[in-house]
Structure 1
């Protein structure tokens, strides 16, 4: 933050490192949730629990719209390999995606706004649990986060290793991909590996399916559209000389457009069932839409770009490429206009480790940048709407 701002770098770093040392998995963020409430009360705000370990707080004036600011709280089931003093104290659990920094940034934003309240409108803080694969956003929505008062717009952010610290990335339109997950069980007929003619080999069937699935993007999607179909795991068999009775495989599909989001699941099921039928096997398919794409509203994206340029200079604000990573923040932006921005956190020195890496260690300078960006964005949006 600026030197005359209400939140110091040391305060933000202290909060972040505390959270980093005590990571908690989705819907288990009990300590983190209590820490958030404690800080909000120190700022003179009134927090309340939503969806178990989620936290919300509303403040401001009743004479205008409500802007929601959202972050995520949960960590990942990863064993941390960093050796610094604030490394995880919980073996096998680590903040390897930056949610500790996200939480510290929103707390810094809350303190800044509480000490310099907007002249009209309200800010609703959303400290969301369980972003990592458990759809905590849906739980917060079911818990009433979008109501009482009704949310009119939403802003979110993600620290981004691909951008150097000090840079801001804004995307107009699709920013992060829709995420589908699939599980398939291919049943054949087991037998002796030396007599395959007496069996139906599910391993061979699975191999054909994996290859055929790769034709969906190249031959069924519009060449100007994009998508990803990845089989990430295949399991089957117990010995070198036995044809197993079944094989299981699982993976993910990523899309941006609604058309691709319809085409890929349809062709996926047709291919799996078709190959199995042709090879005398049977398929059980569990295909799940985890969450939709994060699509930034054009006006909100333009607004955030202007705020970032005014704060940090035009050369530090970039039009980023969309990411094939997923984010359940999409659930909020399906309901109200919003913008999800990328805040550069890539270290300027040393090796840069990607998100979800056991040595993930973003530059803590992102804390000041993120808190200043979100504070100014909230003040300006409420003043203009």
Structure 2
């Protein structure tokens, strides 16, 4: 049966590319993906496949019943884009100013749609039920996964599989990790309230820029001196804003950044230490520092049994060059919420193009042949799982 599926997917590759490029030209940012959601619904409507729309927001969930009893397998793809200007010189460049698919979600969507089409064609010969979760808003916390779960997208599901096309990994390789594969992603926003004044009279002020700079410097010791070297953590300040004339000492400054961890204990430590350092810096400078620490997605933690199963299945998939145990990534993913509810695994499909740029880069693109490897691997996992 897997061979029939592979053949159907091979036959649909040109359409898979066409849909991906259409979606790439018409991106929509998180929580605003109404046209993309309608495109997905229209695809299933034309196939005659049962689906639910507006699941937890803009989410779409399609369901295909096999001709024989069996397990219920869920497969997930995200479909939101990013607020980035597309700088690629390609025919399918984004037509929406300031918005582009800079992370491969257009490819994820086309992959899952054409896999669903192939499974639909084979449904009478298949055992079990297949749930296709098209998720909105992966890029921006609180994300779409948690609301879709609350709206029942995992009801009755026995296992879930998902993949991410990865532009910095060898094309058509499958890369897996048992246990944590992607990090918890938290956000920090800090306001330093000093006392501004004339640049010629610093002794009459509390310089918010100097104080905020002390914070940034002190934070650098948090990972190196407070976190066990065996553990992993990242603290990055991505924004430092205090806009004044050249001869004014800043009254206030704002910092924004991110914290990435795998362990819940290290996550708690990072949050408490950031507050402690801020409080100490405020006391030392006799000023006010406010910290807003917002917890984003938890770490993506793959289940051992399902990861080993996926690894073994992927080794038999035609077109997959190599199946590799890789290392965890510090990027975040709200696929984490699905794995907190049901067994499953999330893996990377290598999709490095000739001129590779990292995810979230304005020139991001990927090797489209990787969609075929992703579809075949997800499909093989779904069909083979019925024999477990």
- Give the TM-score normalised by the residue count of structure 2: 0.94
1:186 aligns to 2:192 (yes or no): yes
Contact (CA 8 Å) 1:6, 1:115: kept in 2 or not? no
Closer, same or farther: CA 330–91 of 1 in aligned 2, 3 Å: same
Contact (CA 8 Å) 2:192, 2:288: kept in 1 or not? yes
Closer, same or farther: CA 100–237 of 1 in aligned 2, 3 Å: closer
Shift of 1:215: 1.2
Shift of 1:251: 0.3
Alignment of 1:1-385 (within 5 A): 2-3=6-7, 5=9, 7-49=11-53, 50-61=55-66, 63-117=69-123, 119-134=126-141, 135-147=143-155, 150-312=156-318, 316-347=322-353, 349=354, 351-384=355-388
Contact (CA 8 Å) 2:173, 2:320: kept in 1 or not? no
SS of 2:200's partner is coil
SS of 1:184's partner is strand
SS of 1:140's partner is helix
SS of 1:103's partner is helix
Shift of 1:300: 1.0
Query: How big is each residue's C-alpha offset from its partner over 1:27-60, in whole Å with a ceiling of 9 and x where there is no partner?
Result: 2212211111122223331111112321001222
Contact (CA 8 Å) 2:9, 2:115: kept in 1 or not? no
Contact (CA 8 Å) 1:191, 1:198: kept in 2 or not? yes
Shift of 1:64: 3.4
CA RMSD, 1 decimal: 1.7
Shift of 1:152: 2.1
Give the Cα–Cα distance (whole angstroms) in 2 for the partners of residues 5 and 80 of structure 1: 29
Give the Cα–Cα distance (whole angstroms) in 2 for the partners of residues 4 and 210 of structure 1: 54
Query: How big is each residue's C-alpha offset from its partner over 1:132-189, in whole Å with a ceiling of 9 and x where there is no partner?
Result: 1131112212222122xx2222111100012121111111111111001010111111
Shift of 1:271: 0.4
SS of 1:290's partner is coil
Contact (CA 8 Å) 1:120, 1:383: kept in 2 or not? no
- Give the TM-score normalised by the residue count of structure 1: 0.95
Shift of 1:313: 8.1
Shift of 1:192: 1.5
Closer, same or farther: CA 256–283 of 1 in aligned 2, 3 Å: same
Moved over 6 A (4+): none
Q: Mean alpha-carbon deviation: is it higher for 4-13 or for 328-337?
A: 4-13
Give the Cα–Cα distance (whole angstroms) in 1 for the partners of residues 339 and 199 of structure 2: 53
Q: Which runs of 5+ in 2 are unaligned?
A: none
